[in-house]
Amino acid sequence: MTTVVEQESATAAVPQGANREGLIFEHSKKGRRGYRLPALDVPERSDLLSPSLMRDEIANEVEVSEVDVIRHFTRLSKLNVSIDAGLYPLGSCTMKHNPRLNEELARTPGFALSHPLQADHQVQGNLELLWHIEQTLKEIFGMPRVTLQPVAGAHGELTGILMIHKALAKSGNARKFILIPDSAHGTNPASAAFAGYEVKELKSNSRGTLDLHLLEQHVDEDVAALMITVPNTLGVFETEIRKMAEILHRKGAYLYCDGANLNAFVGIARPGDMGIDLIHSNLHKTFSTPHGGGGPGAGPVGVSERLVPFLPTPTVERRDDGSFYLDDDHPDSIGRMRAFNGNFNVLVRALTYMRSMGPDGLRRIAQIAVLNANYIRARLKGTYHLPYDAPSLHEVVFSDKNQTPHEVHTLDIAKRLMDYGFHPPTIYFPLIVAGALMIEPTESEPKEELDAFCDAMLAIARECEERPELVRSAPHTTPVRRLDEARAARQPVLRWQPRSD
Amino acid sequence: MTLPDPLQDQHRYIPNASEDVREMLGVIGVDSIDRLFETIPGDVKLDRMLDIPGPWSEIESRRWFRELAARNKTAADHLSFLGGGAYAHYQPACVDQLLLRAEFLTSYTPYQPEVSQGTLQSIFEYQTHQCMLTGLDVANASLYDGSTALCEAVLLADRVVKNRTKVIIARSMHPQYTATVRTYVQNLGYEIVEVGWTKEGRIDLQALKRACTPDVFAVAIQSPNFLGVLEDYDAIGAVTNGAVKIAVIAEATSLGIVSPPGKHGFEICVGEGQAWGVPTQFGGPYVGFMVVKEALKRHMPGRLVGQTVDVDGRRAFVLTLATREQHIRRGKATSNICTNEALIALAANMYLSLMGKEGLREVAWQSMQKAAYLRDRLLASGKVTLPFSGAVYNEFVIRTSFPAAEILADLEHEQILGGIPLAQFYAGHENDFLVAVTELHTREHLDRYVGVLSAAIARERR
Amino acid sequence: MTPEDSRYAKSHEYIHVEGNVGTIGITDYAQKELGDVVFVELPQVGTQLELGDELGSIESVKAVSELFSPVSGEVVEVNESLADKPELVNTDPYGDGWMIKIKLTAPDEVDELMNAEDYEDYIQTEAGK
C-alpha cells in the first residue's frame, strides 16, 4: 500500500519552484517563431482592406518556438491525472478506458478531411457511418429512431425537451411543468428551463427512489414530462419505472430518461422496453470517447414512435438502392440543434467502440461495472456510512457521517485520496446526501486497482481518527495544494495581463 | 432461454477475468453477477443478446472503417475550395501529437484543481488568447460550436436587456446558425427579425436602422459574413439604438488581419474556432468561443477559469464564478451547458501559441492575398461575375450563367470540390456558389481552378 | 451574540430599525453556514419591495442563496462597498456587512419577526435537523 505521506516531509521534499510552469505568454521572446509557411506565391495587393477594417498587430500575442510549445504543453500535461494512469472514480462520469483504435480511426483522412457542406453523393461513407450508429443505438435503446445531432448530454436534454414541447403544442397544450426528482443532475432543471418550462422538484423516498403515489399526485394536465435518471444518481434502479411511464402516459405526459448511467444496464435492459419516451446517451461515458478535460462529447437522443415526427433535422435516411441522404423534409421537426452534422468524429470513435465490444462485450461492460462498484461497496461499507442502503448498480454513494465526529469532511477525504495517487470520487452530489462521496469505478478497473483504492480509503478512515489534521490539510503531494477559491471568485482574474512596466 | 455466459469470452478492454470475478463475488456475498441485477424487474430485462455486429478485432475494424472512409470524396484526394463556416487551414504536426497525451485526452473536467492544473492553466491561456484576438475582456472555456455560441449570446443579451422581445439577425449570418437560434428560442416568445444585404453584400444599414425599434434587445451580425463580405462594425453600431451588439466570427483566422469587434464597441463576440487548425471532420467536434465586455461576465454561460494562489502562496488556477452554472444554480443557471469542447479549445490554444503574433497575421494575410488573386483571375477570365462588391477576407460568391450544381459537378469530375451552392440557403441564387481560399492553396491550385472552371463554363455554353 | 436591537426572519435576514428606515443584512449564523461570501447581488435604490420579495442573492464559492425582504418598503440605500469587499458579510454581518436600507411602508410587519432570543432558539432547532 502507498506509504502514508507526512505533511512535513511532503513539503520538504518539494523544492521551491518545482512543478511550476509559466504561462505561455511568459515564455514569449521577441523574434522567436514556431511555424513556417511557404513563401507567398501570388502578387501581393496592398489595397484589399481599408485602414478601418485592418487591425493593428495583436498586442502581446506570443512569440515562441516549437520547442517552447512542446515543452510547455508537455509540462502542463504532467500536472494532470488521467484515466490512463489509474482509477478515476468520478460518480456519474463513467471514466472508462479510451481505446486508442478509436483515435486512430477518427484520424482516417477520408473522415477527418471531409467537409460538412459537401453534397450527399460525395460523403456516402460518412452518411452510411451515421446510419449504422443510429441502427446500433436504436437496438441498444429499443427505440425506433435516434438523432445524432446533440453534442453533449445537456444538449441532448434540451433537444428532448424541445421535442416534448413541440409534440404537446401540436396536440393543443404545451403544458407548463417538468417534474424532476431532487437527486437529479443540475443539467436537467437547467435544460427544462432553457426549453421554456418551469421545474417542479419531487422528493426522493428513503430508498432514494421516486414514490409512485407522489408521482401520481403531481402528474396532471399541466405536466409535460418527468425527467428521471435510470439508475438514479445513487446507482439505484427505479424498479417501478414501467408504472411511472403508465401514470405519465395516462395523463398525456412523457417520460424522459437521463441516460448518463446507461453503463449500468447496457445490453441487459432497454429504455424502450421500460416505457421511456426519450433517452440521451453520453457517448463520452458509456461508449468510451475520451473526456478530453471537459469535452468534446456527443449526446444522441432516442425517441419513441410518437415523437419521431419532431426529431431535429436533418435526419440520415437510406434509399432502396442502398445510397444515403440527409433529409430536411420533416414539417413537424423542432429544427436543427447545431450547424452541420453534430460531433461527427466523436460518433466515429463511439461506433468503433461499439464494434470492438459487440453484443457480448456491451453486456459484459454493465456486468463488470456493476460487479466492480458492488465490490467497493462491500469493502468500504461499515467504515464509510452508506446513507441509502438499497442495492445499487454501477456506482455507490457514501457519506462522511462516520468521519465528521473527527471534524473531517468529504472534501478532506477527497483531497487526501490525491496523496494516495487516486483522483477523488464525485463529491457533494447527489444533493440529497449530505457530504456525498459518489464512486463509479467502471468495468475498466482490474481487481488490484480496486483493492488499492479501497485500501487507501480505509487507510484514510483510520487517519481521520488518528491524525485528522493530516487529512484536513491534504493534499500534500500534488503540484499545488488547496487553493484559495474565495479569492478567485471575489477578485476574478480571468486572463493574463502583461505587466504595466 | 439461457444467455451465453459472457464471462467465458474475455474482452481486451475489461481486465477482470473469471478468477477475479469469483473472488469479488465472494467478498460481496452473492453467488452470481445476475444477483446484482435483481432490482431490474424481469419484465424489462432483455431476454436475448443485442442484435448488433461485433465483437471485432482491430484488424476487422480498420478494414471496415477505412473502406467506409474511402467512399468519401474529400480534400484528402480532391482540391477543395469549400468554406461556409468550416475551413481547411494549416495544421501544425505537433498539435495533434500533443493532444494525444493521455493526461489531456483522458482526464475529466478540472473540478479538482490540485490534480488538474495542466487543463486549468491551458484554459486560462486560451481565455487570454480569445481576449487579445477579439479586443474584448472576458472569455469562457468554450461552447459547443459557432452556432450554439450565437444562441448563448442571444440568451445572454436577453438576460441583460430586460423586457424586450425582438432580436435582429443579419440575413447574411450563416443560415445554419440562424436556424439553430430559431430552434433554441422557439418557446421563449422572441421575434427574430432578419435584415437583408445591399449589392455590396453588407448588411442593409437603412433597413437595420428601421428595424432597430425600442423593443429590440440584440443585433447579431457575422463578419466576414456568409457571403464572405466584411461588415462595417462602426456603421452598424451607429444605428443599433441601445441593443446589445453581437459579432459572429465564423472564420476565426480572419482575426489575424481584420479589426476586431471589441475595438468597435461590440459587447459580445462569439464564433467558431475550427479554423485555428482543427480538421473540418464533417462538422465536428469544433469549438465555440464567447468573449464579452467586463460588465457582462456574471451573465456568461459555461466555465470560466480564474487565477488564485494555493495555501503555500503558489500561483494556481481554478474554475470560478461557478454559481452561474447548472450544477449549482440548476433551473436558474445562465446555461445548461456542462460538457463543452475542452480538448478542441486546448488544440486552439496550442495552435495560437505556435503561430503566435506573426503567424496569425501571416496565415490571414496569405489567405486574403490568395483569395484576391483567385478573384482577380476569375474576373480577368470574363467567364464569371462577382455579385457582391464589398471587401472580403478569404471567401466570396461566384456567379455564372448556369446552375451552380452543374458547374460544380463538372469541377468534381476534375477532382475539384469547387464551392458551396448558395441556392440551398437563399432562394434566387441558383447560379451562385461560395468559394474559400486559404494559405494551403498554391498559385498553381488557383490557376488550375480558373482553368477548369473556364472550361466547364465553355462546355455549358456549347 | 445575536444583537438584541434587531429583528429576525426565518430565512435568516435581520432588520435593524431606526425611525422609519430599516437596515437589512444576514445573520452571523447565516454567514457561517454559507462560508466565504464572494458576491452579493443587491437591488437598485428606488426598488419597491413587498414582504417576502426576493431582494437579491448571495454567493459563496459553491452555493447561491436568495435573499428575501423581511418587510415591505422602498430601497433607499445599498451597501456599495460589498461590490469590492463581499467578505464584509463574513467579518462583520451586523456592521459593515449590511446590505440595504429600506424605508418601511408597513412598520407593523417588524413586530411579526422574531426577537433575538426567539431567533437563537430557532437556529438551535434548525441546526439540530
B155-175 per-residue burial string, b: 16 or more CB within 10 A, e: under 16: bbbbeeeeebebbbbbbbbbb
Arithmetic mean of pLDDT, B313-341:
90
Structural domains of chain A, ranges and CATH numbers in brackets: 101-356 (3.40.640.10), 359-478 (3.90.1150.10)
C-alpha cell belonging to residue B32: 452470481
pLDDT of residue A14: 47
Task: Tell me the average pLDDT across B90-118.
Answer: 96
Cβ pair A99:B13 closer than 8 A? yes
Share of chain B above pLDDT 70, in %: 98
The answer to whether A244 and A223 are in contact (CB under 8 A) is no
Task: Report d(CA A179, CA A177) in Å as an integer.
Answer: 6
Instruction: List helix spans (H) across A27-84.
Output: 66-77
Q: Which residue has the cell 501570388?
A: A42
* pLDDT exceeds cutoff 70 at A261: yes
Chain A interface mutation, best of C34, C61, C90, highest count of A Cβ atoms under 10 Å:
C61
- Exposed, middle or buried by CB within 10 Å (0-12, 13-18, 19+), for B59? exposed
Does the pLDDT at position A6 exceed 60?
no
The residue extents of the domains of chain C are 7-120
In angstroms, the Cα distances linking B35 to A156, A241, A465, B150 are: 33, 19, 35, 50
- The rounded distance, in Å, linking the Cα atoms of A79 and A399 is 29
Can you tell me the ipTM of this complex?
0.97
The answer to whether A151 faces chain B, any CB pair under 8 Å, is yes
- Pairing relation of β-strands B268-272 and B288-292? antiparallel
Shortest distance, CA C59 to any CA of chain B (angstroms): 7
Does the pTM surpass 0.90? The reply is yes
pLDDT band at B355 (very low <50, low <70, confident <90, very high): very high
Reported as half-sphere exposure (CB side, CA atoms, 13 A), residue A217 has a value of 9
- Kindly tell me if the per-residue pLDDT of A3 is higher than 50: no
Q: How far is CA A474 from CA A15, A471, B54, B118, in A?
A: 18, 5, 46, 20
Q: Chain C: give the shortest CA distance to residue B102, in Å.
A: 29
CB contact under 8 A, B68 and A35: no
Q: Cell numbers at residue C83, please?
A: 461590490
Least confident among A207-221, A307-321, A383-397, C114-128: C114-128
What average pLDDT score do residues A290-302 get?
Answer: 97
A40: closest chain B residue by CA: B366
Q: B393 and A69 in contact (C-beta within 8 Å)?
A: no
Cα of C41 to nearest chain B Cα, Å: 11
Q: How confident is the model at residue B460 (pLDDT cuts 50, 70, 90)?
A: confident
Please tell me the predicted confidence (pLDDT) of residue B238. 96
Q: Determine the pLDDT at residue B163.
A: 87
pLDDT confidence tier of residue A13, bands split at 50, 70 and 90:
very low
Neighbours of B399 (CB within 10 A): 17
Please tell me the distance from the alpha carbon of residue A302 to that of residue C22, in angstroms, as a whole number. 56
What are the chain A neighbours of C128 within 8 Å (beta carbons)?
Answer: none
Q: How confident is the model at residue B180 (pLDDT cuts 50, 70, 90)?
A: very high
Strands (E), B111-242: 138-139, 166-170, 191-195, 216-222
Question: Which residues in chain A are closer than 8 Å to C97, comparing Cβ atoms?
Answer: none
Interface test with A, best of C36, C57, C59 (most A CBs within 10 A): C36
Question: What does the pLDDT read at residue A10?
Answer: 43
Q: Does the beta carbon of A128 lie under 8 angstroms from any beta carbon of chain B?
A: yes
* C88 → chain A, closest CA residue: A490
- SS3 assignment, position C64: strand
The three three-digit cell numbers of residue B331, written as one number: 433551473
Q: Is the pLDDT of residue B350 over 70?
A: yes
Angle, CA A380 vertex, CA A374 and CA A383 arms, to 5°? 150
Run of H or E residues at A430: none
Confidence of residue B332 (pLDDT cuts 50, 70, 90): confident
Enumerate neighbours of B (3 or more CB pairs within 8 A): A, C
pLDDT of residue A2: 39
> Sorting pLDDT into bands at 50, 70 and 90, what band is A11?
very low
Q: What is the mean pLDDT of residues B246-251?
A: 98
What integer best gives the mean pLDDT of chain C? 93
Tell me the pLDDT band of A19, cut-offs 50, 70 and 90: low
Chains that touch A (3 or more CB pairs under 8 A): B, C
Write out the H or E segment, with its range, that includes residue B416. Answer: strand B416-417
Check pLDDT > 50 for residue B348: yes
- Chain C partners of A411 at a C-beta cutoff of 8 Å? none
For residues B125-130, average pLDDT: 98
Which cell is B234 given?
A: 462602426
CB within 8 Å of C129: residues ≥ 6 apart? none
Determine the pLDDT at residue A7: 44
Give the three cell numbers for residue B353.
Answer: 501559441
What's the alpha-carbon Rg for chain A, to the nearest Å?
26
Task: Read off the DSSP letter of residue B2.
Answer: P
- Residues of chain A with C-beta less than 8 angstroms from the C-beta of C61: 485-486, 489
Quick check: C61 pLDDT over 90?
Answer: no
**Count of positions (residues) in chain A:** 501
Alpha carbons B284 and A346: distance in angstroms, whole number: 8
Smallest CA–CA distance, residue C77 to chain B, in Å, is 22
Q: Tell me the pLDDT of chain A averaged across its residues.
A: 94
Nearest to A345 among B11, B100, B285 (CB): B285
- The answer to whether A274 and A296 are in contact (CB under 8 A) is no
- For chain B, the residue count is 462
Neighbours of chain C (3+ CB pairs under 8 A): A, B
Segment B51-59 mean pLDDT: 97
Taking an 8 Å cut-off on Cβ atoms, the answer to whether C87 and A486 are in contact is yes
Give the pLDDT score at B2: 57
Q: Percent of chain A having pLDDT more than 90?
A: 94
Contact residues, chain C, for B322 at CB < 8 Å: 61-62
Closest CA to A230 of A194, A253, A255: A255
Read off the pLDDT of residues A300-323 as tens digits, 9 standing for 90 and up.
999 999 999 999 999 999 999 999
Q: Please tell me the distance in Å from B328's CA to the nearest CA on chain C.
A: 6
3-state secondary structure of A436: strand
pLDDT reported for residue B414: 97
Mean pLDDT in residue range A489-496? 95
Measured CA to CA in angstroms, residue A243 lies from A183, A208, A247, A432 at distances of 20, 17, 6, 24
CATH of domain C7-120: 2.40.50.100
In a mutagenesis test of the B interface, which of C41, C61, C66 is the best target, namely the one with the most B β-carbons within 10 Å? C61
A interface toward C at CB cutoff 8 Å?
Answer: 428, 485-486, 489-490
Closest chain A CA to residue C39: A490
What cell numbers appear for B430 in the block?
441558383
Q: Is the pLDDT of residue A401 over 80?
A: yes
Q: Find how far residue A132's CA is from the centre of its chain.
A: 23
% of chain B exceeding 90 in pLDDT: 94
Tell me the backbone φ, ψ of residue A316, rounded to 5 degrees: -100, 125
Contact residues on chain C for B328, CB-CB shorter than 8 A? 62-64
Average pLDDT over residues B355-370: 97
* CA gap A400, B88 in Å, rounded: 52
* pLDDT at site A214: 97
CA distance A19 to A3: 21
Q: What is the pLDDT of residue B8?
A: 65
Q: Is A372 on the interface with B (CB under 8 A)?
A: yes
Alpha-carbon torsion, ordered B52, B58, B63, B69, to 10 deg? 80
pLDDT(A17) > 60: no
What average pLDDT does chain B have? 96
Q: What is residue A501's predicted lDDT score, i.e. its pLDDT?
A: 52
pLDDT at A8: 43
In one-letter notation, the amino acid at residue C11 is S
- Kindly state the cell numbers that stand for B318: 481554478
Residue of chain B whose Cα is closest to the Cα of C41? B298
Identify which of A304, A249, A259 has the alpha carbon closest to the alpha carbon of residue A286: A259
Q: Average pLDDT in the A157-186 region?
A: 96
Share of chain A above pLDDT 70, in %: 96
Mean of pLDDT values over B391-405:
97
SS3 state at A381: strand
Q: What is the pLDDT of residue B324?
A: 87
How many Cβ pairs within 8 Å bridge chains A and B? Answer: 695
pLDDT in tens, C70-127: 999 999 999 999 999 999 999 999 999 999 999 999 999 999 999 999 999 999 987 6
Question: For residue B31, what pLDDT band results from cuts at 50, 70 and 90?
Answer: very high
Domains delineated in chain B:
1-59 (no CATH), 79-89+357-461 (3.90.1150.10), 93-351 (3.40.640.10)
A4: confidence class by pLDDT, cuts 50, 70, 90? very low
Contact A486 C39 (CB under 8 A): no
